[in-house]
Amino acid sequence: MPSVQRFLSGRHNLARTAALVASSVRASRAIERVHAQRTGGGRVRLAGDYIGHEAADVQVRISATGGVPRASVPQFVGVGNGGLQVLAVDAAAPLQGITLTLADLGVATAHALLDVREVQLRARAPGAVGNSIRVSVEPRLVRTPTAWALLADWPAGTAVQTGPQWDFGGLPLNAQQELDAASPRIQFGSDPQVYRPWRRFKDGAWQFGLSPALERNVPAGTPVLAVTGGYVVTVTDGVASETFGDVDAAQPAIESFHDLLLALADSALVEVAGVVAADRTVGGQAAIDVPLRTQAWLLALGGKVALAGVAVPPGAPTQAVTLRCINDDVVGAERWSVAGDVSGTLPVATTGVPYASAAALFTVPRIDPAAAGSGRWSFKFRPAAREAGEGVPSICLRPFRLGRNAVPRTVTFTYTKRPPADCKCSDMPTPRLSLACLGLTEEAALIDAEYQSRLEALYKWRSDFTEGNSGLPSVDDDIHGVDVTLANRVTAVLAQGLTDLFAAPPAVAAALTEWDAALVALKADLASLETATGVDDDLYEKALVLRENGNLAIRYVDQYAARYEARMDYVRTLAGIVPKSESSSSDAGSCWTDHGGTHWWVDAEGYYLPAFTNQAYVSARRDTDTGRAYSTQEFGFGLVVACPERLREGDEITLRIEAVDGERPYRVGDEAIIQTIGAGPAWLAGGVDGTDVQTWRVLGGASGALPDYVVPTDGAPVPDYAAAGITLRMAPGGIPFSLGDTFTLAVEAGQYQWRQDGGAWSAEADIPADGQALLADGLTVHFDAGAAPSFVPGDDYVFRVHQPWATSHVRDAQASAWGWDGSNATLEIDLGAVQPLGALALARYTLPAGAVLAFELSDDGAGWTAPVALDTSGPACVHLLDAAARHLRLTVAGAEGGHIGWLWVGVPLATDHHASSCQRRRRWAARRGDGPNAASLYSGVGDGWSLAWEPGDAQSSRLLAADVAQLVGLLDWAQAHDEPLLFVPHHQHPQDAALVRFAADALEVTDLHAWQPDSAGDRILSAALELDPVYA
């Protein structure tokens, strides 16, 4: 009888060659293109859920042109990265190429902007209207002197300094390198930049720095000023105005740049574009003052002379203002020319007098000379010619002192008879010179506009008054012209006063106001005289009296004119002009006095005022414009004359100052330079009222010029373009289009054929409008358009459609499997003829819990036996039977997602005698690393077996020659096909079946008689088999 072991090998599997019909196969999407030969720019691809039971090769070719119009993929040449989408193609669209070319970029609407450091101020309203917005910053800072000044230069670009001399009160930075919120604010001298000093301890020493970094070089000696206060910022478009930071209006103060950006969040005119953060790091928004300057500011001071109180008016231009000493006669009252590169020649400045102009404000400080009142001098008396024996006086200068303005010079005084007192040039009106003739100004500006307007008003009144009080008399008229005389006299007084005011422009406003009031009063006073024809009544000192008959009598015209002379003297004082009176002409602030007499000592050069015999004399001159006497502070002496009666006209005293001790603080030619930077409101710019559209020219190859495609660029939805049977839509990209950018596409058509596994070709069909066509078994062919032409006859594609769940996979014991669709399936096996069946087996399957499998047998495929359930609880299922059949049907129920790898049907191999030893070995597929307690990589488990037919048990376990032949054939098959087999250790216990492989590539067969018997039947054979598990 045969042994108890059974071997189920692919060599004996009737299912390997049987016809298999499955109810379903799980769909596959594994499609591979294996060949493409094309000329067109498009591509063909297969897609879909393939439900064919076996893998297939599908071939698709383009067979002809014509058919349903479709569009190629638009191609772009240019700069932009936008796209063009084809939305639709009409069935009647002509086949042609279409070109779109950008011909007009249009004008993009833009917001007006103002760059301020890392952010922008942007007009809320788009377009050019934002260009009218301007931002003005008014510093309201209080600068207080500190106890610090720079001991060394601090160059711009030097971020930090080391040493206590650079400690200006800065607080330490915190761990995040941020300034303390209580950090002080400082300025250096006249530099307008406000800094926040800070310190940090690094490398064993304190380092000192500023926020922001130093912008301009600061020289040694520059004082440090503490700064408090803030800024008032005004934003206006010329119609509406917004003010921020005005603490007087209860608005939050603005000190830092961050304060300003926060405040502008409430603006209806502008918005902040950029990140606004309370950044207190060095240079951060919360660590610097407002960086905008909209008022003129001082850039630098230069020259030899150090100025005081320098300030720059808000509207000053960008220029250099140069001061040059032009007269150093009087120490402490030197005169300086002032000229600006833009402002031109400005009024003269005087040392010690605060100077104000539209170009700059400053004071040239008074500096006392190092030494005064000492030097070397001498004098000589040279008497005039006298008769013989006539005596001469004795003259000496005692005492003699040098003044602070003394300079080496020689002065000669001549004893001369003085002119009579009733002949004074001060009583005469001052004529006006033509400045243009002197080359001092342009002719168009000879007369100041305010001066001319007032002078015209005065003489217009005089003309009207004279006309009303004059005419041709009759013979009997008693004519009196006192009223006209009075008008002429007072007109001259006011005209001279006005001339004095504008002698050194600009005139003082208060003085002009008073002069205007005087003219109004004059008109009112003399209004009553304009209709009077005769005068014979008295004019009292301050009143005009009309008689009952209407005639006016005037007396004391001089006294009435004196009223306005006195008023003009008051006007002169308002303008800083000392009136010409007896006191002003006879003394220089009590330094020079006219002592009277018939003779005086006159400077031969006319430079100094006269000296008087036996009187103290201080060098003095008379102002040529005002007539005021003033001391030159050069020298003084007592003119002591013994026997003054011996003096004769022509006697001379020559004073020679040979040397003066000490240096003068200023000399002619000394200069100071003020460099100013002009500024004004910061205007937003760049706002544009645009068209916000692009125009594309469209040209059809057959249709010719088509309507333009107008595309909005302001974010509005892009409209569709429809012409010549095609509908397009432009899609702008991140990189804008440029002029000349071009899209090209074509309206085209084509036909195709297909076949499967080298079979017959299908009939020609049009490539569908949507490019998709259904083939078979769930496959769809896709024609993807490309660059024109997309498809050309002769284009050929071959695809391999894989079926990982094919029915044929159950024919062998490899790892591939049959998978079905859904939870139920059947598989019918036709063996071709009735065959004996000893077993049905399944292996390499994966089934869900609860799955039910059964089989049925049939000789003719019509009548079936009762279903027999299969036990699939183990790794392999073996059902032994003794039957014969042609047809076998396997039924699967409740097994969704499951699969079966191997189906075996046939008669198992069994040796004549069972093995003398049969040993099961449980094995795990694990790879362990080196070293103690190494971890392992687990990949599966299975049962292996060891079989042996020992020679010592010749009767019960021997192998017959036929057994060896079958074993060798089984082994040869397994090795040739690299296929595992099922081993059943005992036919009554099929649940112990295992899927195994031969462990060795050799089989040693031993003959107890060493292969010596003459008859093969006398051989007693033995062998050993090692079977390794197939891990799962």
Q: Is 497 helix (H, G, I), strand (E, B) or coil?
A: helix
> Is residue 1009 very low, low, confident or very high in pLDDT (cuts 50, 70, 90)?
confident
DSSP 273-293: ES------BTT-GGGSB----
- What is residue 4's predicted lDDT score, i.e. its pLDDT? 93
**Interval 719-770: pLDDT, tens:** 999 999 999 999 999 999 999 999 999 999 999 999 999 999 999 999 999 9
Nearest partner of 741 among 20, 28, 104, 120, judged by Cα: 104
Nearest partner of 959 among 1021, 909, 917, judged by Cα: 1021
- What is residue 660's predicted lDDT score, i.e. its pLDDT? 86
CA Rg value for the chain:
62
**Interval 940-993: pLDDT, tens:** 999 999 999 887 655 667 788 889 999 999 999 999 999 999 999 999 999 999
Does residue 55 contact residue 806 with C-beta atoms inside 8 Å? yes
- What is residue 593's predicted lDDT score, i.e. its pLDDT? 87
> Is residue 333 very low, low, confident or very high in pLDDT (cuts 50, 70, 90)?
confident
Per-residue pLDDT for 564 more than 80?
yes
> Is residue 372 very low, low, confident or very high in pLDDT (cuts 50, 70, 90)?
low
Q: Is 4 helix (H, G, I), strand (E, B) or coil?
A: coil
- What is residue 57's predicted lDDT score, i.e. its pLDDT? 97
- What is residue 442's predicted lDDT score, i.e. its pLDDT? 46
Does residue 213 contact residue 196 with C-beta atoms inside 8 Å? no
Mean per-residue pLDDT over the chain, rounded: 89
Q: Residues of the chain with pLDDT > 70: what percent? A: 90
Does residue 907 contact residue 937 with C-beta atoms inside 8 Å? no
**Interval 619-644: pLDDT, tens:** 999 877 667 788 888 899 999 999 99
Nearest partner of 312 among 347, 361, 364, judged by Cα: 361
Q: What phi and psi values does residue 506 have, to the nearest 5 degrees?
A: -85, 150
Calculate the alpha carbon distances from 878 to 267, 811, 903, 981 in Å.
89, 16, 10, 12
Pairwise CA distance, residues 944 & 983, whole Å = 10
Nearest partner of 240 among 337, 351, 125, judged by Cα: 125
Q: Is 877 helix (H, G, I), strand (E, B) or coil?
A: strand
Cα torsion 906, 909, 910, 912 to 10°: value is 120
Q: Any residues with CB less than 8 A from the CB of 935 and at least 6 apart, and which?
A: 928, 929
Pairwise CA distance, residues 805 & 841, whole Å = 19
- What is residue 630's predicted lDDT score, i.e. its pLDDT? 84
The alpha carbon dihedral of 656, 660, 664, 669 has a sign of: positive
Q: Any residues with CB less than 8 A from the CB of 446 and at least 6 apart, and which?
A: 434, 435, 436
Pairwise CA distance, residues 973 & 13, whole Å = 12
> Is residue 198 very low, low, confident or very high in pLDDT (cuts 50, 70, 90)?
very high
**Interval 244-258: pLDDT, tens:** 999 999 999 999 999
- Segment 538-556 shows an average pLDDT of 40
- Segment 281-300 shows an average pLDDT of 95
- What is residue 110's predicted lDDT score, i.e. its pLDDT? 95
Instruction: Name the β-bridge partners of 745.
Output: 98
Does residue 403 contact residue 634 with C-beta atoms inside 8 Å? yes
Per-residue pLDDT for 828 more than 70?
yes
**Interval 21-48: pLDDT, tens:** 999 999 999 999 999 999 999 999 999 9
Alpha helices for 180-284 (secondary structure H): 257-263
**Interval 122-159: pLDDT, tens:** 999 999 999 999 999 999 999 999 999 999 999 999 99
The token duo for 945 is 């077996």
DSSP 3-state helix, strand, coil percentages of the chain (rounded to 5)?
A: 15, 40, 45
- Segment 507-518 shows an average pLDDT of 85
Q: Any residues with CB less than 8 A from the CB of 350 and at least 6 apart, and which?
A: 333, 334, 335, 336, 364
**Interval 784-805: pLDDT, tens:** 999 999 999 999 999 999 999 9
Q: Residues of the chain with pLDDT > 90: what percent? A: 71
- Segment 676-701 shows an average pLDDT of 96
**Interval 92-118: pLDDT, tens:** 999 999 999 999 999 999 999 999 999
- What is residue 504's predicted lDDT score, i.e. its pLDDT? 55
- What is residue 506's predicted lDDT score, i.e. its pLDDT? 59
Number of H helices, E strands in the chain: 7, 59
Length of the chain: 1032
- Segment 649-655 shows an average pLDDT of 95
Pairwise CA distance, residues 279 & 420, whole Å = 84
- What is residue 532's predicted lDDT score, i.e. its pLDDT? 52
Q: Where are the domains of the chain?
A: 6-24+808-906, 31-73+747-801, 93-109+689-740, 114-289, 298-368+670-680, 381-394+402-418+596-660, 443-582, 917-1029
Report the DSSP pairing between strands 171-172 and 196-202: parallel
- What is residue 585's predicted lDDT score, i.e. its pLDDT? 42
Residue type, 1001: D
- What is residue 481's predicted lDDT score, i.e. its pLDDT? 61
Calculate the alpha carbon distances from 36 to 45, 50, 770, 796 in Å.
10, 21, 22, 6
Longest distance between any two alpha carbons in the chain, whole Å? 201
**Interval 570-613: pLDDT, tens:** 888 888 776 754 433 445 556 888 888 899 999 999 899 999 99
> Is residue 480 very low, low, confident or very high in pLDDT (cuts 50, 70, 90)?
low
Three-state SS sequence of 311-337: ECCCCCCCEEEEEEEEECCCCCCCEEE
> Is residue 479 very low, low, confident or very high in pLDDT (cuts 50, 70, 90)?
very low
Pairwise CA distance, residues 537 & 539, whole Å = 7
- Segment 996-1010 shows an average pLDDT of 89
- What is residue 161's predicted lDDT score, i.e. its pLDDT? 96
DSSP 735: S
* Burial (Cβ within 10 Å: 0-12, 13-18, ≥19) of residue 73: middle
Nearest partner of 909 among 968, 967, 974, judged by Cα: 967
Q: Is 378 helix (H, G, I), strand (E, B) or coil?
A: strand
Q: Any residues with CB less than 8 A from the CB of 635 and at least 6 apart, and which?
A: 377, 400, 401, 402, 403, 406, 618, 619, 655, 657
Domain 6-24+808-906 sits in CATH at 2.60.120.260
Pairwise CA distance, residues 252 & 248, whole Å = 10
Per-residue pLDDT for 288 more than 50?
yes
Calculate the alpha carbon distances from 990 to 370, 578, 870, 908 in Å.
133, 143, 11, 12
